[in-house]
Amino acid sequence: MLLNTLVKPLKELTTVRESVTLEEALTVLEDSGFRCVPILDETGQIFRGNIYKMHIYRHKSQGGDMSLPVTYLLKNATKFISSDSAFFNVFFSIKDLPYIAILNENNYFEGILTHTRLLDMLSQSWNFDVGSYVLTVISAGERGDLVDMAKVITKYSSIASCMTLDVKEGELLRRTLFTLPGGVTQEKVDKIVDNLGRKEFIVSEIEDLRG
């Protein structure tokens, strides 16, 4: 489920209503500095789509009528997710967008999730601020590998976070990134690497987060 703390709520957003003209929408975009903003219906509850500054500029440069309603250049009308959507689905929905619109259980516009907030959340999951080292461990992706790697590491340290990459079907090797908490010494890291190697797990990279 999407975390509410990641969503920028409607009250904090710059939006335009569907009845405004392209000229009025351009003024809003220029004054706000945003490259696009959501278009809402007259009640301010229904998401209609997005309006992009670049599309208005292009329309204007080609001699287009700027008194047309903003919906004339409406984009991304179907690009939204529900506030109770599985977090996994967010990545596919937001892929090519600066943000994704969030609708509540009544299909009313609730806010947006931006790329920036999503990336902030991912960076926090790595525990960069409190971590000491990140170990990239290569395994064969066999059943039980993650448990075995974790057992080796936790002999010497707790695990602040863990992220597995290369999870596509058919991948022969898998990379797992373990972030170790602050206070872990180089000596402990060396012991972890040595013991992982004895279990045929290869530590391909060690990143020191402390400097």
pLDDT digits (tens, 9 = 90+) for 13-35: 999 999 999 999 999 999 999 99
In degrees and rounded to multiples of 5, residue 132 shows phi and psi of -115, -50
pTM of this structure = 0.68
Query: Is the per-residue pLDDT at 59 higher than 80?
Result: yes
CB 47 within 8 A of CB 80: yes
pLDDT(190) > 70: yes
Segment 132-139 shows an average pLDDT of 92
User: Which residue type is seen at 210?
Assistant: R
H helices present in the chain, as ranges = 22-32, 53-61, 87-94, 115-125, 145-153, 186-198
pLDDT number for residue 90: 77
Which residue would you say has higher pLDDT here, 170 or 201? 201
Domains of the chain, first to last: 4-120 (3.10.580.10), 127-208 (3.30.70.260)
Which percentage of the chain shows pLDDT scores above 90? 64
By DSSP bridging, strand 202-208 and strand 131-139 are: antiparallel
Please, which pLDDT band fits residue 136 given cuts at 50, 70 and 90? very high
